[in-house]
Amino acid sequence: MSVIYQRVALIGLGLIASSMAHAMRRGGLVGEIVGTARSAETRDIAREVGFCDRIVDTAAEAAEGADLVVLAVPVGAMGAVAQEIGPVLKAGATVTDVGSVKRAVIDAVAPHLPAGVHFIPGHPLAGTEHSGPRSGFAELYDNRWCILVPNGAEEVATQRLCSLWQSMGANVEMMDADHHDLVLAVTSHAPHLIAYTMVGVADDLGRVTDTEVINYSAAGFRDFTRIAASDPTMWRDVFLTNKDATLEILGRFTEELFALQRAIRTGDGDHLFDYFTRTRAIRRGIIEAGQDTDAPDFGRSVKHD
Ligand SMILES: NC(=O)C1=CN([C@@H]2O[C@H](COP(=O)(O)OP(=O)(O)OC[C@H]3O[C@@H](n4cnc5c(N)ncnc54)[C@H](O)[C@@H]3O)[C@@H](O)[C@H]2O)C=CC1
Ligand SMILES: O=C(O)C(=O)Cc1ccc(O)cc1
Q: Which of 73, 123, 140, 188 to mutate to test the pocket of ligand 2 (most atoms within 8 A of CB)?
A: 188
Protein residue whose Cα sits closest to atom 31 of ligand 1: 38
Other CB atoms within a 10 A radius of the CB of residue 113 amount to 18
Report domain extents, the chain.
Answer: 5-175, 179-288
Ligand nearest to the CA of 41: 1
Q: Which of 11, 61, 234, 240 to mutate to test the pocket of ligand 1 (most atoms within 8 A of CB)?
A: 234
**Ligand 1 near 77 CB (within 6 A):** yes
Q: Which fold has domain 179-288?
A: 6-phosphogluconate dehydrogenase C-terminal fold (1.10.3660)
pLDDT value at residue 292 = 60
Give the integer Cα–Cα distance in Å for 72 and 36.
10
SS3 198: helix
**Ligand 1 near 72 CB (within 6 A):** yes
pLDDT value at residue 288 = 81
pLDDT value at residue 305 = 36
- In what side-by-side order are the strands of the sheet with 94-97? 54-55, 30-36, 5-11, 68-71, 94-97, 118-119
User: E strand or H helix at 20, and its extent?
Assistant: helix 15-27
**Ligand 2 near 100 CB (within 6 A):** yes
Ligand 1 geometric centre to CA of 99 (Å): 8
The 3-state secondary structure of 32-70 reads EEEEECCCHHHHHHHHHHCCCCEECCCHHHHHCCCCEEE
Give the integer Cα–Cα distance in Å for 222 and 208.
15
The 3-state secondary structure of 203-270 reads HHCCCCCHHHHHHCCCHHHHHHHHHCCCCHHHHHHHHHHCHHHHHHHHHHHHHHHHHHHHHHHHCCHH
Give the integer Cα–Cα distance in Å for 16 and 10.
10
Ligand nearest to the CA of 15: 1
pLDDT value at residue 293 = 52
Are the CB atoms for 94 and 120 separated by under 8 Å? Answer: yes
DSSP class of residue 114? P
- CATH class held by domain 5-175: alpha beta
Give the integer Cα–Cα distance in Å for 146 and 166.
9
Same fold, 5-175 and 179-288: no
Ligand nearest to the CA of 98: 1
Q: Which of 100, 144, 233 to mutate to test the pocket of ligand 1 (most atoms within 8 A of CB)?
A: 100
- In what side-by-side order are the strands of the sheet with 171-174? 122-124, 145-148, 171-174
SS3 5: strand
Ligand 1 geometric centre to CA of 234 (Å): 6
- Return per-residue pLDDT of the chain as tens, 305 residues: 689 999 999 999 999 999 999 999 999 999 999 999 999 999 999 999 999 999 999 999 999 999 999 999 999 999 999 999 999 999 999 999 999 999 999 999 999 999 999 999 999 999 999 999 999 999 999 999 999 999 999 999 999 999 999 999 999 999 999 999 999 999 999 999 999 999 999 888 877 777 887 777 877 888 899 999 999 999 999 999 999 999 999 999 999 999 999 999 999 999 999 999 999 998 888 778 776 655 433 333 323 33
**Ligand 1 near 234 CB (within 6 A):** yes
Give the integer Cα–Cα distance in Å for 73 and 132.
11
- Nearest alpha-carbon partner for 246 in 194, 304, 169: 194
DSSP class of residue 111? G
ipTM field:
0.98
Measured at the alpha carbon of residue 162, what is the angle toward residues 143 and 102, in degrees to the nearest 5? 90
Protein residue whose Cα sits closest to atom 1 of ligand 2: 128
